[in-house]
Structure 1
Amino acid sequence: MPKLSVVTVNLNNAAGLRKTMQSVFSQTFSDREYIIIDGGSIDGSKEILKQYSDKLSYWVSEKDKGIYNAMNKGIIQSRAEYILFLNSGDYFVDREVLTNAVSIMKSNPADIYYGNIVIEHENGKLVSKKHPKVISLDFLENETINHQASLIRRSLFDDMGLYDLRYSMAADHAFYVKALLKQTPFHHINQDMVFYQLDGISSKNFDRYKLQMNEICEHLLPGYKIRKEMEAIEKARLFRHPVERLKRFTRIRYEQLKSVLKRT
């Protein structure tokens, strides 16, 4: 059994796919398999996969039902202990990323490891995004872990199920929330691992991602919706609305929500 699977999903991003593949091929860590799931691209991506097929553990080019359906296909094909999802267009910060990660993993047992990413904006600006040392539900109510810099134990998907396709934009976030609720061990790898390209499309998708994150939290986390309403009321209080009746209503509603939250 190889230690790691790197899974790349792609759809009509031939240039990004080639960059990602070269990044994976250049890694010094060799105890890995490389799986690519292409969604039936018509831009030359399939020809690139054929060209490098001898370096791939598995690849397929066929229509799918979206990114998480493609990622699930990769999970099913994986035979490794841990999986990392590296989307086409994203790439490792250097040749030693996987070697360094595995070294940390050996002395820090966990089921999910998560590192930092470097966001690459369209204008070329680079911004390092660092995750907290400890992942909490409070954190996951407002932020997420980037799957491009996460190493997830393969058997977790057997225990918890594959990515939930009901969440077309944020199924990975739902998986992290469920894992934390099950007290799954997480460990932070405090290193920049991946360059993540943020273009205009990614930015728009991120807004949709955030909306679905809120939906997931409402479904999975007790008291989340109530806490959000309490925060909104507390924020509104700061503006000292001139209508006394409204001020009285927000105060009463706040206390009602507070009492309900204590019972959840």
Structure 2
Amino acid sequence: MLESILSVVMPCLNGMPHLPAAIESVKSALPAADCEIIVADGGSTDGTRDFLRNSGVRLIESPDRSLYEGLNKAIAQARGEYIVWLNSDDLLLGAVVDLWRKAREEKADLVTGEAEIASEGKIVWRSDHHVRPMNPASILFAVPTANSRLMHAGLLRKAGPFQCDIGLGADRHMLLKLLRLSDKRSYLTSTVYRYNSHGGSKTMAATWESYHDVHDANLQMVPALRDQLGDASERGLLDSFASLSALAKARAHFFGGRPKKALNVGLLACRYNRSPTSWYRGLSLHRLNRGHGCGW
């Protein structure tokens, strides 16, 4: 481990044309001597690998089942004391230097900055992690933005790898593990990360299909979390989350032109949770956390 560098890890598959800007954002934010960029390419066929071979990054070329498997491979080779995850179509912003400095000065094992979402060059959303503490309810019901956080390498290794068989819900799953294991957390009010919303994004495309994929991922995550959440209150929280995720998935089916599937998924939501009290709790948490960052 080299304490003097920050490891930027990136899973990638057919990242063009956004990838060059992502790599350049790291080089603009961090001097070369202060960081390493590790890219795990899962078998790109669009010129991504040719670009990466000449871009000064450490390239891992190996087929993988998902972006999380690629992410795990990149993390396993990271040498820095702290690690940050960059998607191949997003940007790391200059304030990440201040976030990294704060992490080292305060000896924090998880330090959170703010994130933003841009669509066609315009900022359409900014997180507010700094105004609230992170807890299981906020991780489930608010916006997690795992990419705007620096994680100490030791904390990540203690948490173990990202779970690869629960889809996009692996972000929340990992944040819940880090919350339980973290000894000292801190935050920075500056924006350190930009998510780019575009038609090819799995989570940021702002289409009914992408909304469906996000909520489907949440439902895939639920069984994996059931053993992790200890007391009855937290398990009830998970029931509420599953119910609302199923309703949101049904809504995406309906407005996406699949009314029969919407009905089936809506009935499934009722099977997840038959308690009116739990439904009320879930709706309250949804209203409280919707559109907000999940905290630090």
Please report the TM-score for the alignment, with normalisation by the length of structure 2.
0.69
Alignment partners' CA distance in 1, 2:216 and 2:238: 18
- Please, which of 96, 100, 112 is the counterpart of residue 102 of structure 1? 100
- Please, which of 228, 233, 246 is the counterpart of residue 220 of structure 1? 228
Deviation for aligned residue 1:123: 8.0
* Pair member with larger Rg: 1
Alignment partners' CA distance in 2, 1:103 and 1:183: 18
* Structure 2 residue 71 is the aligned partner of structure 1 residue 71: yes
Please list every run of 5 or more consecutive structure 2 residues that lacks an aligned counterpart in the other structure: 244-274, 279-296
- Please, which of 14, 23, 26 is the counterpart of residue 12 of structure 1? 14
Deviation for aligned residue 1:208: 2.9
Cα pair distance change 1:226/1:108, threshold 3 Å: same
Q: Is the 8 A contact 1:169 1:209 kept in 2?
A: yes
Q: Is the 8 A contact 1:4 1:83 kept in 2?
A: yes
- Aligned partner of 1:239 in structure 2 is none
Deviation for aligned residue 1:10: 1.2
Deviation for aligned residue 1:70: 0.3
Q: Is the 8 A contact 2:39 2:59 kept in 1?
A: yes
- Please, which of 211, 215, 227 is the counterpart of residue 219 of structure 2? 211
- Cα deviation, 1:178-220, whole Å, max 9, x if unaligned, reads 2222354222222111110123542413333433454454342
Deviation for aligned residue 1:41: 0.4
Q: Is the 8 A contact 2:11 2:68 kept in 1?
A: no
Q: Is the 8 A contact 1:17 1:89 kept in 2?
A: yes
- Aligned partner of 1:173 in structure 2 is 172
Q: Is the 8 A contact 1:120 1:196 kept in 2?
A: yes
Q: Is the 8 A contact 2:140 2:172 kept in 1?
A: no
- Cα deviation, 1:129-159, whole Å, max 9, x if unaligned, reads 2214421222123125312211111112332
- Cα deviation, 1:89-136, whole Å, max 9, x if unaligned, reads 10023xx32321122223322111111111113584531122144212
- Please, which of 36, 49, 52 is the counterpart of residue 39 of structure 2? 36
Counterparts of 1:1-264 in structure 2, within 5 Å, are 1=2, 2-29=4-31, 30-52=33-55, 55-56=56-57, 58-93=58-93, 96-121=94-119, 124-131=122-129, 132-200=131-199, 201-202=202-203, 203=206, 204=210, 205-221=213-229, 222-223=231-232, 224-227=234-237
Alignment partners' CA distance in 2, 1:88 and 1:123: 17
Alignment partners' CA distance in 2, 1:104 and 1:51: 32
Alignment partners' CA distance in 2, 1:36 and 1:230: 37
- Aligned partner of 1:240 in structure 2 is none
Q: Which moved more, 1:168-177 or 1:39-48?
A: 168-177
Alignment partners' CA distance in 1, 2:240 and 2:46: 50
1:170 match: secondary structure:
helix
* AA at the equivalent of 1:98: V
Cα pair distance change 1:192/1:43, threshold 3 Å: same
- Aligned partner of 1:237 in structure 2 is none
Deviation for aligned residue 1:83: 0.6
Q: Is the 8 A contact 1:121 1:198 kept in 2?
A: yes
Cα pair distance change 1:254/1:66, threshold 3 Å: closer
2:19 match: secondary structure:
helix
- Cα deviation, 1:54-75, whole Å, max 9, x if unaligned, reads x22x202331110110000001
Q: How many residues align?
A: 233
Root mean square deviation of aligned Cα: 2.8
Please list every run of 5 or more consecutive structure 1 residues that lacks an aligned counterpart in the other structure: 233-252, 257-264
Alignment partners' CA distance in 2, 1:75 and 1:230: 33
Cα pair distance change 1:137/1:21, threshold 3 Å: same
Cα pair distance change 1:229/1:4, threshold 3 Å: closer
2:166 match: secondary structure:
coil
